Chains A and B, each alone.
Chain A
């Protein structure tokens, strides 16, 4: 009698996305830029847009986007990525155009450019990484810095009276007619990462369907400038950060049946 033995073949369940360049990154230990980069690269693979994608890098920790994502990249002046992306997309409407911006870049110096790009309904995808501080310049107060948060330029903690309150961009941009998709996600737990992937994919679908501006805000860590260990930084995202910046989808053309 012969016994059928089921062959056990090793199946690859985890691999580097093709669009993610195989190099060591300059990001600090515990920083979530790497996760956001990976999620974007996975979406580029999933929709097969690597050869027609043009990324727009901002000024800040993510300026080296072109070292990590295997697509054409143009570097924008600080805050101007949505305007540069507008110029790329209007010249090449058939290309997939995305910006990757930090909170100082998008929510302070570049507020005008993001609001008007969204209001015009530019068919772009915006990846917005909010870590409540200016990482690259050494941890200064950002427009997203939480009240009471100590930074190198708010040594006594951010005060609403002096500095205003942290700005909620995902909600704000959802108000504009040209915004087709707006969501806030985080990457501090496997469940959150799964949702972040879904949001980025929906943002890509938004552009591919020609629906208008799509933005995904990532709540991210900055252990170096927060003066925290990576795991404590994760806890901060899960705790006070996501209670001020609630996770969720603020606008979705698909859900609204547009």
Chain B
């Protein structure tokens, strides 16, 4: 796996495992579901070898509650799953958001709804960014588009989770999870995170404390809701991440994330080679969404082409980010990876050329 140069050549799903281990995560819980099984299979060997804990749960409901208990103990903890399993975790995610507990959840999503299929899809965007469970919480959502980012954004997800005392989610799909790429893993660097005095370690030498999400007295739940809201505002101010790809002088700008964005990079390069001024804005954080960047691009291009592997979910956020609605177009490939040829044809059409 490791080359002499210090480079690794691994699958995206394995890169997630390596990122988690590098970030000091020693607790993983999960339940089998395609297409993410490489993650539990890898960690079931790796974690016990380093004194960590791997435990296969009886369900995703149990999984997320194992995580709740380990997070309340002050330890970094991760799970991975896919659409139907992520749905089962929504109750626990809501409790963890309400109890302000950090964890990292990986969704190597499959196509839905229901049992859907195992084809790559971006159909879980709305569930991820809009609050999949009850009560109106948010959490950082990261969308890697390369194996290297599967590694690096996993480390970032742990940092964001700890900094904001919140679950954080990595949204991938079967393509990004299964493809192999070489990359040079950067070592984890602690960004100076706050300690965890709230962790439940037994009331030794201090008064007892608790981790909870129930607030019945007076206006306590209102106060709590505004506190969470301020946290989400702070994320929106400080944590927006995106990539601008060949946007200089662009007349047509694609907005895409994850696998769709990775494919679109090829189409943009081909379009540029043909003399079409195309570029791309790639949201790396889906929450917080790079709304200002989308608006800035929308104001200076002729067309904003939203590209997704679904029927138009991030499209809602793009529309909410700018008033230039007449410039927005959509290309959707629900439950399939678009080819660069398909994207190029659409770009040519938008540029007024023969497709």
Contacts and interface: CB of A to CB of B under 8 A. Distances in A.
B339 interface: no
Contact of B202 (A53, A74, A75, A83): A53
Interface in A41-74: 50-54, 56-57, 63, 66, 70-74
B99 interface: yes
Interface string B324-341: 000000000000000000
A122 to B, nearest CB: 10
Given A87-B70, A88-B72, A91-B75, A75 B214 contact: yes
B193 interface: no
Interface string B44-61: 000000000101011101
A66 B208 contact: yes
Contacts of A74: 68-69, 72, 99, 200, 210-212
A112 B204 contact: no
A112 B61 contact: yes
A168 interface: no
Interface string B185-217: 000000000000000111111001111111000
Contact of A71 (B65, B68, B72, B203): B203
Interface in A66-113: 66, 70-77, 80, 83-92, 95-96, 112-113
B202 A86 contact: no
Nearest to B62: A83
A72 B201 CA distance: 7
Given A63-B214, A87-B73, A90-B70, A72 B92 contact: no
A116 interface: yes
Nearest to B26: A91
B53 A80 contact: no
Contacts of A84: 65-66, 68-69, 72
B62 A70 contact: no
Interface residues of A, number: 33
B95 interface: yes
B67 interface: yes
Nearest to A65: B210
Nearest to A69: B208
B203 A87 contact: no
Contacts of A63: 214
A176 B92 CA distance: 27
A88 B203 contact: no
Contacts of A76: 65, 68, 95
A92 B61 contact: no
B30 to A, nearest CB: 13
Interface string B90-104: 011001000100000
A51 B58 CA distance: 31
Contacts of B67: 87
Contact of B209 (A72, A86, A113): A72
Nearest to B91: A77
Nearest to B27: A91
A87 B29 contact: yes
Contact of B62 (A75, A88, A113): A113
Interface of B: 27, 29, 53, 55, 57-59, 61-62, 65-75, 77, 91-92, 95, 99, 200-205, 208-214
Given A73-B208, A91-B69, 12 more contacts: A51-B202, A52-B202, A52-B204, A54-B200, A54-B202, A71-B208, A75-B213, A77-B95, A83-B57, A83-B69, A84-B66, A87-B68
18 contacts: A50-B203, A53-B203, A72-B201, A74-B68, A74-B69, A74-B211, A74-B212, A77-B65, A77-B92, A84-B72, A85-B69, A87-B27, A87-B65, A87-B66, A87-B67, A87-B70, A90-B70, A116-B57
Interface of A: 50-54, 56-57, 63, 66, 70-77, 80, 83-92, 95-96, 112-113, 116
